């Protein structure tokens, strides 16, 4: 088996990993390898053939455009002349359906959703200004007295929150998502990538240091089909093993694998990651967002201006709720897609495509009547089942403080972490991944070139209790005593209740 020694190992060739390699190069470090599990560069930005077109199974939008700062992803899109279409959801309320067909414009429901969004933002600002504890988005909705309850309200609410974070308002942190830095800093607009070369073309300019003389990404340092299954680390450096039996040793490594992968057992860390790191990894959420594409022989949906998005308001929140046609992107293609998230994504990933198709046809017949044609093709991405992703993007849940988030980002010895889930302001997005790759590479360069290496937790010292619990076996005497004492306490209480009842019934 191979045994390679380099300065730095980058794990993962998504946006974060490729950006990290560019920054290392700019800082004079060129002796590195990029180990990528799949056979391609791009990670969660990936298109595929569908019904003679190219559709994006992963990231689709440049989110946050036309604002006070330039989104670096928009800059990249401009550099490669990416074909994009401005997304417009302003007309959504006139395009709502329920089980009995099209509904009249839902002006009131949409006005409520918009007003609520503003209220929720200002509450978040107040909490942050007063340094108050975080609450969930749902808590804010309850305070406002406007929890979505009818099917139409739920569909609009779903589009607004789950449609962005892929998890419901009851899960999502208010302080860390409302307002969202992506739209605050880069602008309110989003552009939908519809380019036959694929959205991943935006990585081309970032990867120029990996290009051969023909301009294709090909470099001996970029190693595809290399599945990392072990990372040994210490203040001496890192040693990374792959499933094919090779070992790579380096002064430092940058792991850009997704949060879902970190939460899985794919990579074995040696020594085990410290408790504070595990806690941060397991507290944060890997959400699931699934776009299901359908090809029809003919159109039965509206295509007049402003009808790109349409909603299905089912009694069950999140049941095939958000629809989009691709008539503007690919005229005459007769392709639409529906977005589901979270538990629905998990359910759908586990059943057959035919089962999903039949559920979808039932919904569409309710929306448009029984005579619509049958779909000819269906495409269901399965990001959650894929061991190299285990979900689609991270969502900041209620309960994770910024200090705990810093633990998610923090390096341990010479092992650094990057990837979308480590971006405090832009987690979940391509631009988040991009910034974290650059930042991690800068930290590594500072460590290797100037000997200034940071490591560890910001609250490691406060964490000794949890750490002790983790380290000690449950059978260790002191813990067993504590559990026994607790059990005794409850046994006593139950006895009291039993006695009281017995006396009453006697």
Ligand X SMILES: Cc1cc2nc3c(=O)[nH]c(=O)nc-3n(C[C@H](O)[C@H](O)[C@H](O)COP(=O)(O)OP(=O)(O)OC[C@H]3O[C@@H](n4cnc5c(N)ncnc54)[C@H](O)[C@@H]3O)c2cc1C
Binders of ligand X in range 348-407 (CB under 6 A): 383, 388-389, 392-393
**Least CB distance from residue 323 to ligand X, whole Å?**
16
Contact 367, 101 (CB under 8 A): yes
**Least CB distance from residue 198 to ligand X, whole Å?**
13
Q: Pick the binder of ligand X from 10, 24, 33, 45 (CB under 6 A).
A: 45
What does the DSSP 8-state code read for residue 136?
Answer: B
Residue nearer to ligand X on the CB measure, 44 or 414: 44
Residue nearer to ligand X on the CB measure, 289 or 309: 289
**Least CB distance from residue 348 to ligand X, whole Å?**
13
CA distance 407 to 435: 17
Q: How far apart are the first and last CA of the chain?
A: 79
Residues in a beta bridge with 341: 289
**What one-character-per-residue DSSP string does 407-423 give?**
HHH--BTTEEE-SGGG-
For residue 416, state whether it binds ligand X (rule: CB under 6 A).
no
Burial class for 100, CB neighbours closer than 10 Å (0-12, 13-18, 19+)? exposed
For residue 227, state whether it binds ligand X (rule: CB under 6 A).
yes
For residue 420, state whether it binds ligand X (rule: CB under 6 A).
yes
Closest by CA position to 416, among listed 249, 254, 224, 286 = 254
For residue 11, state whether it binds ligand X (rule: CB under 6 A).
yes
For residue 195, state whether it binds ligand X (rule: CB under 6 A).
no
For residue 408, state whether it binds ligand X (rule: CB under 6 A).
no
Task: Kindly give, in sequence order, each residue whose CB lies less than 8 Å from that of residue 89, ignoring residues fewer than 6 positions away.
Answer: 159, 309
For residue 167, state whether it binds ligand X (rule: CB under 6 A).
no
Q: Is 188 considered catalytic here? A: no
Binders of ligand X in range 240-279 (CB under 6 A): 256-258, 261, 266-267
Residue nearer to ligand X on the CB measure, 275 or 384: 384
Residues 429-448, one symbol each (x = binds ligand X by CB under 6 A, - = not), give xx-xx---------------
Binders of ligand X in range 49-68 (CB under 6 A): 58-61, 63
Residue nearer to ligand X on the CB measure, 59 or 253: 59
Distances from the Cα of 413 to the Cα of 29, 83, 457, angstroms: 19, 43, 11
For residue 186, state whether it binds ligand X (rule: CB under 6 A).
no
Residue nearer to ligand X on the CB measure, 22 or 463: 22
Catalytic option among 63, 167, 279, 407 = 63
For residue 13, state whether it binds ligand X (rule: CB under 6 A).
yes
* CA 362 to chain CA centroid, nearest Å: 30
Residue nearer to ligand X on the CB measure, 60 or 95: 60
Size of the site for ligand X (CB under 6 A): 41
Residue nearer to ligand X on the CB measure, 4 or 470: 4
Q: Pick the binder of ligand X from 14, 21, 168, 318 (CB under 6 A).
A: 14
Burial class for 81, CB neighbours closer than 10 Å (0-12, 13-18, 19+)? exposed
Closest by CA position to 98, among listed 421, 368, 398, 498 = 368
Burial class for 389, CB neighbours closer than 10 Å (0-12, 13-18, 19+)? buried
The Cβ of residue 493 has, within 10 Å, a number of other Cβ atoms equal to 10
Residues in a beta bridge with 6: 250
Active site residues: 63
**Residues that bind ligand X in the complex, under the rule CB under 6 A:** 11-17, 35-38, 43-45, 58-61, 63, 226-228, 256-258, 261, 266-267, 289, 383, 388-389, 392-393, 419-420, 428-430, 432-433
């Amino acid at each position: 088996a191979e045994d390679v020694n380099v300065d730095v190992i980058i794990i993962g060739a998504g946006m974060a990993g490729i950006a990290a390699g560019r920054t290392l190069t700019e800082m004079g470090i060129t002796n590195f390898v990029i180990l990528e599990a799949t056979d391609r560069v791009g990670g969660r930005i990936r298109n595929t053939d569908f019904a003679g077109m190219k559709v994006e199974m992963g990231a689709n939008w440049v989110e946050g455009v036309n604002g006070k700062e330039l989104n670096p992803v928009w800059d990249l899109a401009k550099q490669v002349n990416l074909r994009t279409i401005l997304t417009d959801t302003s007309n959504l309320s006139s395009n709502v359906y329920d089980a009995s067909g099209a509904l009249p414009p839902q002006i009131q429901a949409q006005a409520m959703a918009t007003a609520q969004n503003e209220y929720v933002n200002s509450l978040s600002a107040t909490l942050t200004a007063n340094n108050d504890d975080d609450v969930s988005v749902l808590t804010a909705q309850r305070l406002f007295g406007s929890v979505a309850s009818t099917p139409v309200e739920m569909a609009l609410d779903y589009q607004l929150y789950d449609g962005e974070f892929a998890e419901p308002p009851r899960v999502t942190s208010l302080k860390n998502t409302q307002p969202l830095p992506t739209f605050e800093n880069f602008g309110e607009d989003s552009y939908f990538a519809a380019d036959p070369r694929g959205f991943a073309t935006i990585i081309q300019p970032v990867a120029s240091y990996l290009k051969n003389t023909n301009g294709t990404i090909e470099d001996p340092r970029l190693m595809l089909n290399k599945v990392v299954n072990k990372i040994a680390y210490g203040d001496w450096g890192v040693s990374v093993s792959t499933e094919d039996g090779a070992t790579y040793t380096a002064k430092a490594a940058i792991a850009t694998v997704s949060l879902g992968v970190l939460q899985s057992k794919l990579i074995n860390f040696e020594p085990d990651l410290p408790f504070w790191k595990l806690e941060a990894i397991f507290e944060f959420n890997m959400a699931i967002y699934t776009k299901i594409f359908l090809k029809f022989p003919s159109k039965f949906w509206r295509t007049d201006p402003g009808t790109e998005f349409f909603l299905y308001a089912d009694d069950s929140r999140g049941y095939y709720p958000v629809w989009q046609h691709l008539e503007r992107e690919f005229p005459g293609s007769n392709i639409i897609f529906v977005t589901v998230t979270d538990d629905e994504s998990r359910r759908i990933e586990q059943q057959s495509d035919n089962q999903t198709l039949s559920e979808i046809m039932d919904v569409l017949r309710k929306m448009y009547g029984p005579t619509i044609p049958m779909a000819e093709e269906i495409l269901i991405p399965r990001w959650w089942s894929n061991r190299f992703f285990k979900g689609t993007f991270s969502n900041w849940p209620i309960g994770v403080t910024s200090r705990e988030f810093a633990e998610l980002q923090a390096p341990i010895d010479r092992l650094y972490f990057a990837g979308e889930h480590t971006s405090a302001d832009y987690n979940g997005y391509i631009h988040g991944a991009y910034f974290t790759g650059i930042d991690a590479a800068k930290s590594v360069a500072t460590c290797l070139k100037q000997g200034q290496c940071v490591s560890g937790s910001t609250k490691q010292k406060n964490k000794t209790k949890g750490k002790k619990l983790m380290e000690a076996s449950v059978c260790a005497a002191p813990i067993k005593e504590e559990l026994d004492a607790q059990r005794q306490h409850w046994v006593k209480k139950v006895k009291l209740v039993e006695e009281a009842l017995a006396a009453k019934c006697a």
